[in-house]
Amino acid sequence: MASFKKYKKKDGNTAWRFQVYLGVDPKTGKPIKTTKQGFKTQREAKLALSRLVSEFEENGLKESQTKTYQEIYDLWIDEYISTVKESTLLKTERTFKNHILPAFGEYYIDEITPMMAQEQMNIWHQKMEKARVIMNYTGMVFDYAIRLQLITLNPTKVIKKPAPKQKIKEDKDLNFYDKKELKEFFSVLEQSPNIRAHVYFRLLAFTGIRKGESLALKWSDVDFKNKTLNINKAVARKESGLYIQTPKTAASIRRISIDDRTLEILKDFRNNTAKDKLIFRSESDGILSPAKTRKWLLVIQDAVDAKRKEAEKKPMKRISTHGFRHTHASLLFESGATIKDVQYRLGHSDIQTTMDIYTHVSKTAKEQLAKRFNSFVDF
């Protein structure tokens, strides 16, 4: 005999549970009862009951093996921890906490069907660009359950995952400054009392290093004699806060040249600071928050716009801190650097990443290309 009941979950949604009496345990003489819950409809609960009764008649009740998705996740994450960096772990845990566990956590792992996975995939696809990525993470727990021989099918592997929605950006919104805009930016920045900001954005624009790499730099990474910068670490975030880690790929570890003017600015900024100190550090000598550099940038951009307003000009387009990396890449291409040269300097492991930036070269380079084409066709 079985009973079905509708109940309210912690997130406010309703679900169905059932309790069933399966007989008497011949070893203990006690009644065998089991309860399962987390079903979206009564129909799903009845189908699950039918499968349970059928399995019990064939193999007996394996209650010790019946676990929820949440319980399997808890086992899986303990193993996953040792395979990734702490920054990656933090992002993964947030993905499960915010999206996956609210959707599947209360369901028994062997009761989650491809239809249920498909319905959730469709919901995520309507709301998020990274729906496929989230479903792929969901599938990792099912794969783990298969390894434990708790299930035989990963329902996320047989569903249809819609193509991600592509955002088309207009050329005017591209995240970089051309040479003229960069000169204007620095003409205002050089008048600012924030010396750290001047040194910081000069280094980003003239080396193309990543924000995380810049905040992990120590003075020992600057070779003033040979005019090079050693990139071998980056700032990342874990649950307890910011920390310094090794780069994710071998290509990120590199030694790049520094132009004379940037080197002079660094020398003046150093002012006999010890080699083991971070170049850009917080007031307490710790890691500088990435949010701090964003605030610096907004202040300078506001100052640029104020000066433009006085000259009755339109505001300058806004770029992010990462945009200085793209600015450096576009100027490298404009100066005649090869894709391979730029790939090494930027620390890209995949040359396709470099080629994607190449398609967004500066306006000057595009104009020159048009002029060369016009001269070539000559009619």
Q: Note whether 141 and 245 are same-domain residues.
A: no
Q: Looking at the structure, do residues 228 and 348 belong to the same domain, yes or no?
A: yes
Residue 242 within a domain: yes
| Domain end marker among 129, 157, 185 | 157
Predicted confidence at residue 343, as pLDDT, reads 93
Domains of the chain: total: 3
CB 135 within 8 A of CB 124: yes
The answer to whether residues 133 and 101 belong to one domain is yes
- Whether the Cβ atoms of residue 149 and residue 178 lie closer than 8 Å to each other: no
Based on the domain organization, do 102 and 204 belong to the same domain?
no
Residue 299 amino acid letter: V
Q: Is position 340 within any domain?
A: yes
Tell me how far apart the alpha carbons of residues 162 and 181 are, in angstroms, rounded to a whole number: 40
Q: What is the CATH number of the domain that holds 35?
A: 3.30.160
Output the pLDDT for position 64. Answer: 44
Last residue of a domain, one of 28, 49, 65: 65
Residue 38 tokens read as 């987390």
- Say yes or no: 59 and 91 in one domain: no
The residue among 32, 47, 65 that closes a domain is: 65
Residue 348 in domain: yes
pLDDT, one tens digit per residue, over 94-119 is 999 999 999 999 899 988 999 999 99
Decide if 272 is inside a domain: yes
Do residue 214 and residue 141 come from a single domain? no
Answer yes or no: do 33 and 124 share one domain: no
Strand partners, 7: 15
Is 162 contained in some domain?
Answer: no
Give me the domain span that covers residue 21. Answer: 2-65
- Domain with residue 317: its CATH number is 1.10.443.10
Note whether residue 163 is domain-resident: no
What tokens appear for 335 in the block?
């100066």
Length of the chain as a residue count: 379
Are 284 and 321 members of one domain? yes
Q: What is the pLDDT along the chain (379 residues), one digit of tens a residue?
A: 789 998 887 667 888 888 888 887 777 777 887 878 878 899 988 988 888 888 777 776 554 457 899 999 999 999 999 898 888 899 999 999 999 999 999 899 988 999 999 999 999 999 988 999 999 999 999 999 999 888 999 999 999 988 876 655 544 447 899 999 999 999 999 999 999 999 999 999 999 999 999 999 999 999 999 999 999 999 998 878 899 998 878 899 999 999 999 999 999 999 878 888 999 999 898 999 999 999 999 999 999 999 999 999 999 999 999 999 999 998 898 888 889 999 999 999 888 888 877 776 655 566 665 666 667 666 5
CATH number at residue 141: 1.10.150.130
Asked if residues 266 and 220 have their Cβ atoms less than 8 Å apart, the reply is no
> Does residue 378 fall inside a structural domain?
no
Shared domain for 114 and 177, answered yes or no, is no
The answer on 74 and 50 residing in a single domain is no
pLDDT at 207: 95
User: Which strand ranges, in their side-by-side order, compose the sheet holding 31-39?
Assistant: 2-8, 14-24, 31-39
Is residue 52 located within the same domain as residue 82? no
Output the pLDDT for position 300: 96
Q: Is residue 302 part of a domain?
A: yes
Would you put residue 150 in left (φ > 0), alpha (ψ -120 to 50) or beta?
Answer: alpha
Distance from C-alpha of 327 to C-alpha of 324, rounded to nearest angstrom: 5
Strand partners, 221: none
On whether both 37 and 110 belong to a single domain, the answer is: no
Q: What pLDDT is stored for residue 262 in this prediction?
A: 95
Specify whether the CB–CB gap between 259 and 206 falls below 8 A.
Answer: yes
